[in-house]
Structure 1
Amino acid sequence: MKHSTYIFLATLTTLVEHCMGAQTCVVDSFTVKENFDLKRYAGKWYAVAKKDPEGLFLQDNISAEYTLGEDGIMTAASKGRVKLFGFWVICADMAAHYSIPDPAQPAKMYMVYQGLASYLSSGGDNYWVIDTDYDNYAITYACRSLNSDGTCKDGYSIIFSRNPRDISPAIQRIIRQKQEEICMAGQFQPVLQSGAC
């Protein structure tokens, strides 16, 4: 009897480990916020952690003010410090507008952004809201380029908070789980919010 119990437990453990290890990092398999509500998402957010893409990216004191127009188009005005030429740190302004390619998945937006100075980049990226409770936190994700197997070659993610200095332990647990789901666990750096911008 003990032997059969042992075999059952060993089989069950192997099955659970296999299922947990079956997570895929293929970008198209990532889930986003269901029933995403642009109106509830609008407002001011502060970056509290980020995983940068390749190249120049806002460094710290990052905030974004999202506005939903009467036409249903969301825009954002973002600020943050950036380091230029390896030593010159300035506050920079960015502007963006968002479109929703598939109305059935409003959390999968496309963002066109413009630096409001000549030395800042402009372009377009996917902008996916992986998760949010609208009142406390939001996790955004973008993949700029894919590997041939569908995993992300160059991507970034930002953890936003409505409060620049406080995320509860319960929300931190949710965020860690979502970071694992988008295959970026352990890649995030905290974002300083000192009010410099």
Structure 2
Amino acid sequence: MKNLFALVVVLAAINAKPLEARWLPEVVDNFDVNLYLGRWYEVASTKPVFQNNCLCTTADYTINENGNVGVFNSCRLGAFYGPVNNVRGEAVQSRRNPAKLRVGFGGLDLPFNNYWVVDLADDYRYAVVSSAFRNPIFILSRTPEIAEDDLNGILQRLEERNFNVDNILPTQQPGCSYPPFNGDQ
């Protein structure tokens, strides 16, 4: 009986998927940070509290002198020409998986990867960012508007992968006035 129990435990361990494969969301393969650099427009998100009253939201990515990714997030508060609210940060790519990054803002440096690229167009025209917790969710596009087919495909894939898409709301972009992006932000 003892040997049978040991055999069952060994077989279960061999067949078991790692924790990450069972519960944590998968990230994209072959993520190239150099193709990811530049301006992204948030076209939809779960509207986390730190983006309260934001519209015209953008994220600009550059490579810093130290090799890490410079992050400059910006939005307008309350109106298309409302006051600009921005924050500067830095992202460090995971050595094991470059599509998982640890982003810190203004001295807040988290001890874990909190920026996971979970969906990405082959030509980098859109990207979806979340975390190990599948929340928040940000749908980004290289243009202020995203093609309806792309958005529908993203939402379907997210739902199939157990993301809650019910709380994803569009971000107002048409008619916005954006701060310039010069790569140095």
What do the CA deviations read for 1:91-126 (whole angstroms, capped 9, x no partner)? 20111101123x1211111100139xxxxxx56470
Matched residues in 2 for 1:142 and 1:40: separation? 21
Letter in 2 for 1:179: L
Match of 1:69 among 64, 67, 74: 64
Matched residues in 1 for 2:130 and 2:50: separation? 17
Match of 1:195 among 172, 176, 183: 176
Q: Secondary structure at the match of 2:152?
A: helix
Structure 1 residue runs of 5 or longer lacking an equivalent are 1-25, 84-88, 116-121, 144-151
Match of 1:91 among 84, 91, 113: 84
Aligned to 2:44: 49
Size of the aligned set, in residue pairs, is 151
Q: Secondary structure at the match of 1:56?
A: helix
Question: CA offset at residue 184 of structure 1?
Answer: 1.8
Given that residues 52 and 155 in structure 1 are in contact (C-alpha distance below 8 angstroms), is that contact kept between their aligned partners in structure 2? no
Q: Which has the higher strand share?
A: 1
Aligned to 1:78: 73
Letter in 1 for 2:50: L
What do the CA deviations read for 1:71-92 (whole angstroms, capped 9, x no partner)? 4311111110246xxxxx6320
Aligned to 1:4: none
2:154 maps to 1:175:
yes
Aligned to 1:139: 128
Q: Percent identity over the alignment?
A: 25
The TM-score normalised by the length of structure 1 is 0.66
- Compared CA separation, residues 92 and 39, structure 1 to 2 (3 A): same
- Compared CA separation, residues 195 and 127, structure 1 to 2 (3 A): same
2:135 maps to 1:155:
yes
Matched residues in 1 for 2:70 and 2:152: separation? 30
Structure 2 residue runs of 5 or longer lacking an equivalent are 1-20, 179-185
Matched residues in 1 for 2:45 and 2:152: separation? 16
The TM-score normalised by the length of structure 2 is 0.70
- Compared CA separation, residues 71 and 141, structure 1 to 2 (3 A): same
Letter in 1 for 2:96: A
Q: Secondary structure at the match of 2:140?
A: strand
Query: Any residues of structure 2 matched to 1:6-17 within 5 Å, and which?
Result: none
